[in-house]
Amino acid sequence: MDRDRTTEWIWIKDWTLEDGEAPRQVYFRKEIHLSAPIKGELRISADSRYKLYINDNLVEVGPSKGDRQIWYYDTIDITKHLKKGLNVFAVKVLRYPLNHSKGNHGIFRTDTPGLYVSGEITSAEGFVQSIQADETWRCLIDPTFEIISESAVFAPLQIYEKVSGDAKNADWLKAGFDAADWPMAMAYQPNEMSRAVSPGNLHPRTIPFMYRKERNFEKIMTLRKSVHPKDAWERFLCKRERIVIPPNSKEIIEISAGEEMTGYLQLAVSGGHSAKINILQSEAYVQNEKTVVNGLEIPVKEDREDYLGGHLEGFSDAYTVAGYGTEQAPECYAPFWFRTFRFIGLEIETKDEGLVLEAFDYVETGYPLEVSTSFESSDESLSAIWEISERTLRRCMHETYEDCPFYEQLQYAMDSRLQILYTYAVSADDRLARKCMDDFKRSHRYDGTLNGSYPCYGPNVIPGFSIYYILMLHDHMMYFDDVALLEYHMPTVEGVLNYFERNVRPEGYAGKLGGMNGIDRYWSFIDWTPEWNGTSGVPPATLQGAITMESLLYIMGLQTAAQIAEHLGRSQLASQMEEKAEAVKRAIKKYCLGSNGMIQDGPGIETYSQHTQVFALLTDTLSPQQGKANLLETIMHKENYAQCSVAMSFYLYRALQKAELYEMTDDYWNIWRRMIKNNATTCVEAEAGERSECHAWGSLALYELPSVTLGVYPAEPGYKSVVIAPTPGYLTWAKGEVMTPHGLVKVEWKKDGAGLNVSYQVPEGMNVHAVSSADKRK
């Protein structure tokens, strides 16, 4: 891009301090005459977000999430959207204020709001016409747009809208619209838009565009108040038969998408001047009873489809109808941001004029994950678990991995490490994983910690989460072996470990690194287990000092980093890391080991959890025999120990596998069987207060079934050879196909007495490192 004489960034001239203190939607519009376009390419970005339209068609949404150090632009092939004659280029820009609490927590914004456009269009005659952001664009602040905070307590999204129809500017996306009274744009000068910092520091997008797919709602759940029968509403949803709402009336209808969904809502109406429409988005029907998790009051959930005994709770958009729509040209409302929903509560209140609903549907969106791995087994219930797990992962993948699409849409390191592994296991796609690791590298703080979630506009430090970043790198090494990537990240790895080393007490274990959320300097979150709800997911031992889990995580980080260092040829560094890990192990056994042989939650504190036993086993802090005995104790006497919840199940399953207790997973799969029994369509965040219905750390089956039950995983970095070592557990047979970076591996096994009959097929050139004794290669 040659930008020596222009920045190709524009904004609106009459932007005020007041405009900068609230979310604003700004329209940009330009008309271009083209003779015979045969090719077009556009590069576009914005602070904070854009939606690009060409000739009244939505072309793309972006940019990919960046931060203060890097800003992304998108390169779009616009050829198919161009036509001979007049072409209308239009962009909606959603600009968030600098105030952290007034904008989306996962979207950065800078001191320089703007729209960036640069492109070329080639005609059949070979003439190249440029298109760029300059003073020839018309622009307008949307006069009816307002963002409504979703909560007075915790509101990280800031995406919900209160909007009124605007008859004057209704056709602004179309040719022939008169924008003569819109002001011309202001172009930034080179000294106003530095290329060294965001947003001027532009970098090409590193991930694919999100997919978009037109969808209809599945059914009507119930009519709370309506003059129409249920079948009339069903015909409206599924067959687009118009439905008329009489004047001065109120309708309350509850609609199902059939499953947890992320998508752009679309409503089309005609008539109905001044009618009020409220669109409630909800994940589930909830009960009247409340519980408290992490200081947040949340409703109790039972059957997610219980519309008789339950009610919908969630977040809403509010639209006031202008009344200019007709059947041929309806008035349309489509919120800027995608929404997360399974159910919609549609509440309509008309005034003196009747309202006609022309259409209500949505456009599904998400990361274009291509699942190639498949699995079957003697336990049919695992198929349903796989289905909700795959859907959960999909709904938690957009421009970043997300903890949950409904409440936060933030990329947390603990969650993302697992989501990345699940992605590898079902698709061998590392594009979003690479961005995730790069995101966390850029969050590296002065003291060595990483932000617990990133991109995140504000601080959010969870010390132990920095270790999960190291695990991400090791996972990528085993699946893809990109040495340059590992070298690039190693300084950050050493910085993280140095932070823990500086906080090691004279006794040799990690000191108090954080504590409770919102109270202590940092949050030492470990898991959502009922015994820890009162201390925000942190073992109560934190109230008296250090928690053992942070020392165990430090050991795991050292051990994992040592393997990376050894692979990079840094044997001395690897040895030093191993020695430090051994020193912390000795300290734990001296200061955190109870008289019962169990690892305490804190040094000298007589409280115990399954978590410390799991991580002591996984890190070899205890002997295999003692580790297995301790794990069994927490399983046989669950009432005495805080149990690993959904969030920590991956590590519990690794411990069961290592201790040769994998048959016990049958009981733990009941967590997911209960979700399905309660009609959940995605994996819940935790059973101890089911706040989020969709948390992809629970998509455990996507890793467990192909990588452990079928036994397919990399034997050495880069998947240069494959291990085929099924772990049958309680199953009697299983078969499937597992996608790897080198192609599909097919495995089938069946129990035969005390052994297994295993057959497999691997891609040409792939070496098999290990298989069961009774194997047969196809």
| Three-state helix/strand/coil letters over 365-394 | EECCCCCCCEEEECCCHHHHHHHHHHHHHH
What pLDDT score was predicted for residue 753? 85
What pLDDT score was predicted for residue 291? 86
Calculate the dihedral angle through the C-alpha atoms of 690, 694, 695, 700, rounding to the nearest 10 degrees.
100
Secondary structure (3-state) at 743: strand
Distance, CA of 225 to chain centre? 36
What pLDDT score was predicted for residue 280? 98
- The reply to whether 758 falls in a domain is no
Beta bridge partners of 316: 280
Same domain, 198 and 233: no
What CATH number should be reported for the domain holding residue 80? 2.60.120.260
- The reply to whether 606 falls in a domain is no
In the chain, how many domains are there? Answer: 2
Q: Which tokens sit at 212?
A: 């978009």
Q: What is the pTM of this model?
A: 0.97
Domain range for 182 is 9-143+168-205
- The reply to whether 534 falls in a domain is no
User: Domain end: 306, 334, 366, which one?
Assistant: 366
Same domain, 185 and 277: no
Residue numbers of the chain with a pLDDT score lower than 50: 1-3, 773-774, 778
Quickly list DSSP for 10-78.
EE-TT--TTGGGS-EEEEEEEEEEESSEEEEEEEEEEESEEEEEETTEEEEEEPPP--SS-EEEEEEE-
Q: Which tokens sit at 558?
A: 């050292």
- The reply to whether 557 falls in a domain is no
Same domain, 233 and 325: yes
Same domain, 61 and 187: yes
What pLDDT score was predicted for residue 4? 52
Same domain, 277 and 225: yes
What pLDDT score was predicted for residue 2? 44
What pLDDT score was predicted for residue 5? 60
- 399-409 as b/e: b if 16+ CB within 10 A: bbbbbbbbbbb
Same domain, 279 and 327: yes
Beta bridge partners of 116: 9, 45
User: Domain end: 366, 385, 413, which one?
Assistant: 366
What pLDDT score was predicted for residue 689? 78
Same domain, 232 and 339: yes
Distance, CA of 334 to chain centre? 22
Measured CA distances, 658 to 436, 542, 563, 580 (Å): 29, 29, 19, 23
Q: Which tokens sit at 136?
A: 């020839």
Same domain, 196 and 87: yes
Q: What is the pLDDT of residues 388-426, one digit of tens each?
A: 999 999 999 999 999 999 999 999 999 999 999 999 999
Q: Containing H/E element for 630?
A: helix 624-636
Same domain, 331 and 231: yes
- The reply to whether 66 falls in a domain is yes
Same domain, 360 and 276: yes
- The reply to whether 379 falls in a domain is no
What pLDDT score was predicted for residue 776? 54
Nearest Cα to 86, choosing from 26, 9, 34?
34
| Three-state helix/strand/coil letters over 308-368 | CCCEEEEEEEEEECCCCCCCCCCEEECCCCCEEEEEEEEEEECCCCCEEEEEEEEEEEECC
- The reply to whether 572 falls in a domain is no
User: How many Cβ atoms are within 10 Å of 191's Cβ, its own excluded?
Assistant: 7
Length of the chain: 778
User: Domain end: 366, 395, 428, which one?
Assistant: 366
Same domain, 134 and 232: no
Same domain, 352 and 216: yes
Beta bridge partners of 752: 755
Q: Which tokens sit at 646?
A: 């959904």
| Three-state helix/strand/coil letters over 393-422 | HHHCECCCECCCCCCCCCCEHHHHHHHHHH
- The reply to whether 283 falls in a domain is yes
